[in-house]
Amino acid sequence: MSETIPAKPINWPAGKTAAASFSFDIDAESAILNFKPSAADQMSTMSHQSYGPLVGVTRILDILERNQIKSTFFVPGYSARRYPSVIKNIVAAGHEIAHHGDMHEQPAHATPEEEVGFIERGIESLQEVAGITPIGYRAPMWELSWYTPQLLSKYGFLYDSSLMDSDYPYELAVGDKSIVELPIQWALDDWEQYAFLPDITGSGLIESPTKVREMWQLEYEALKKVGGIFILTNHPFLSGRPSRAESLETLIKHVLSTPEVWVTSLGEIAQHVRSLNLTPRVLTKPDLKA
């Protein structure tokens, strides 16, 4: 059995020693409808999800504009079709639009043929609504299948941001090619801190934005120290709420106060990583018989 080698620290652009990116998943209703279609009949539940595109996105765009940050918004095809003007506003504000499935489907629970449909419908929707062909991908629920990287390479994606095995970006081997991997982690996701929908999300725990910001800031400082990449994942229907948005902006200002850290979109970070000509890492599925 071949051994997987850890990703190594990388060289950041001149004068920078680490990187940070604030990303947003525009799941809206798709995150719920994918696994519980009957939730379409629950008006209150649907209104909770629609708060993101109806209110949260505008508040977040204002924060990004005030702080002059370029961000990445991951958009399911369904969200683009349902809220085309919202997606166009994100593009007009100068941010990156990336792929997030079609109806927030999890690749790990699909066949390769089904995955092709998710990817193609998502690309077609983003092209039609936003006039862009995405170069970035994030698996819904961060659940890649072992086949997903091959599809991403086939459809011309530059990068993925769904895996959790490193503090540093790396090139993920896909046959004789590769895609850039920008690693994430559950602790840097607002869903784990704020999401509560009866009979859907479980525990019902809703954290204080102050506590959440403290946790995220601690992780930021630690990743900065090791020269890694800090990727925060927020959902406008959660972090777009007023007190949470204020807390997020406080964190953004703290990150911007450290000039040695490069703060930009995931697309720009991926393009830098690609320019380094890193040796791709090979990740293999565990062999239960080994």
For position 184, which CATH number holds? 3.20.20.370
CB count in 10 Å sphere of residue 222: 12
Do 91 and 120 touch, CB atoms closer than 8 A? no
In a domain, 8, yes or no: no
**Position 204 in a domain:** yes
Domain membership of residue 207 (yes or no) is yes
Q: Which domain holds residue 146?
A: 18-36+46-275
Which tens digit of pLDDT belongs to each residue from 138-187? 999 999 999 999 999 999 999 999 999 999 999 999 999 999 999 999 99
In single-letter form, the type of residue at position 279 comes to T
Q: Measured between alpha carbons, how far is 247 from 164 in angstroms, rounded to an integer? A: 25
Q: Which of 267, 202, 212 is nearest to 239 (CA)?
A: 212
**Which tokens belong to 216?**
């995220």
Instruction: Please give the share of the chain, as a percent, with pLDDT higher than 90.
Output: 93
Residue 285 domain flag: no
Instruction: Please report whether residue 191 resides in a domain.
Output: yes
Q: Is 199 helix (H, G, I), strand (E, B) or coil?
A: coil
* Structural contact between residues 64 and 273, judged by C-beta atoms closer than 8 angstroms: no
* Mean pLDDT of the region 225-253: 98
Q: How many domains does the chain have?
A: 1
Query: Residue 41 domain-assigned?
Result: no
**How many CB atoms neighbour CB 94 within 10 A?**
12
| pLDDT at residue 2, as a whole number | 63
Report pTM. Answer: 0.96
Q: In the predicted model, what is the mean pLDDT of residues 219-232?
A: 98
Residue 280 scores a pLDDT above 70: yes
Q: Compute how many other C-beta atoms are within 10 angstroms of the C-beta atom of residue 213.
A: 20
